[in-house]
């Protein structure tokens, strides 16, 4: 077994025996041990009592975090004419149509969010096998297939986070940076958990939110009391 570095060993020691913490205590612990030279992302993971392989148990949605993510989001927009101009004016990083499709098919995906006007979905649909697995496929349910490209671009740039349950029923996302104030991170955590709670699918039976945990990019994870995270403490 490889020997642990001093920073990793210290972090693991700090987390040892810590479990089922309040949101505030979990945030404090994660922040205190995010000691890398870069500003680590604070990440949340939710284990849900769903099987996303069944359509009526899929969990997906979008939430605007009150204090943003601290991340610079690169936005691509599929649009033509006036809507393309609108997207560019709103701050989209990449705007195109068939040319953008060809770029993506060629293996270049230099964006974090993809938005499309409804009339462009015939073009975007050809990219399903590329964008789908990366959770980048535009979808009207999360506001990324829309005629209001200005608002969609501004939302994406302003800290809006998309989420989708993976095969094991896990939802994860970045909810801020370690440099954020503790109260900002706590508010973002609760906003994200609340959005996932409201996205409970009709087919979910029994307990829905099984476990909530927080970590930083390079740090260990710690479990969070579900009632504290949902504001029911």
Same domain, 57 and 169: yes
Distance between CA atoms of residues 101 and 124, nearest Å: 7
On whether residue 10 sits in a domain, the answer given is no
β-sheet bridge partners, residue 224: 21, 212
Q: Three-class SS of residue 172?
A: strand
| DSSP-assigned letter for residue 179 | T
Residue 233 confidence (pLDDT): 47
> Of 137, 158, 179, which residue constitutes the final position of a domain?
158
Tell me the per-residue pLDDT of 101-130, one tens digit each, with 9 for 90 and over. 999 999 999 999 999 999 999 999 999 999
**How many domains are contained in the chain?**
2
Q: Which domain holds residue 218?
A: 19-69+161-229
Same domain, 86 and 153: yes
On whether residue 62 sits in a domain, the answer given is yes
> Of 100, 135, 158, which residue constitutes the final position of a domain?
158
Q: Three-class SS of residue 15?
A: helix
On whether residue 9 sits in a domain, the answer given is no
Distance between CA atoms of residues 203 and 208, nearest Å: 10
The pLDDT of residue 1 is above 50: no
Question: What's the CATH code of the domain at 191?
Answer: 3.30.190.20
Strand ranges inside the chain, DSSP E: 41-48, 60-64, 75-78, 94-96, 113-116, 160-164, 170-177, 209-216, 221-224
pLDDT band of 159, cuts 50, 70, 90 = confident
Distance between CA atoms of residues 53 and 56, nearest Å: 9
> Of 158, 175, 204, which residue constitutes the final position of a domain?
158
User: How far apart, in Å, are the Cα atoms of 227 and each of 75, 83, 88, 131?
Assistant: 35, 44, 43, 35
Distance between CA atoms of residues 100 and 97, nearest Å: 5
Same domain, 37 and 89: no
> Which pTM was predicted?
0.82
Same domain, 166 and 121: no
Same domain, 131 and 171: no
Identify the burial level of 186 via C-beta atoms within 10 angstroms of its C-beta, where 0-12 means exposed, 13-18 middle and 19 or more buried: buried
Distance between CA atoms of residues 190 and 198, nearest Å: 12
Q: Considering only CA atoms, which of 39, 15, 12 is closest in space to residue 28?
A: 15
Tell me the per-residue pLDDT of 12-61, one tens digit each, with 9 for 90 and over. 666 665 688 999 999 999 999 998 899 999 999 999 999 999 999 999 99
Residue 196 confidence (pLDDT): 96
Residue 12 confidence (pLDDT): 65
Question: What's the CATH code of the domain at 148?
Answer: 3.40.50.790
């Amino acid at each position: 077994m490889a020997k642990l570095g001093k920073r990793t060993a210290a972090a693991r020691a700090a987390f040892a025996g810590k479990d089922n913490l309040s949101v505030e205590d979990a945030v404090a612990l994660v922040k205190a041990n995010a000691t890398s030279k870069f500003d680590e992302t604070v990440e949340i993971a939710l284990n849900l009592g769903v099987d996303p392989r069944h359509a009526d148990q899929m969990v997906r949605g979008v939430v605007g975090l009150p204090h943003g993510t601290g991340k610079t989001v690169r936005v691509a927009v599929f649009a033509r004419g006036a809507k393309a101009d609108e997207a560019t004016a709103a701050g989209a990083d990449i705007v195109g149509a068939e040319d953008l499709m060809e770029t993506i098919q060629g293996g270049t995906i230099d964006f974090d969010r993809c938005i499309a006007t409804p009339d462009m979905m015939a073009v975007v649909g050809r990219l399903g096998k590329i964008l789908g697995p990366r959770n980048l496929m535009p979808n009207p349910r999360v506001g990324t297939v829309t005629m209001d490209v200005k608002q969609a671009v501004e939302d994406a740039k302003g800290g809006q986070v998309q989420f989708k349950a993976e095969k094991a029923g896990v939802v994860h996302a970045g909810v801020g940076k370690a440099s954020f104030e503790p109260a900002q991170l706590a508010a973002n955590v609760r906003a994200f958990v609340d959005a996932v709670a409201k996205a409970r699918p009709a087919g979910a039976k029994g307990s829905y939110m099984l476990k909530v945990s927080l970590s930083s990019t390079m740090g260990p994870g710690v479990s969070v009391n579900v009632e504290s995270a949902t504001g029911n403490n």
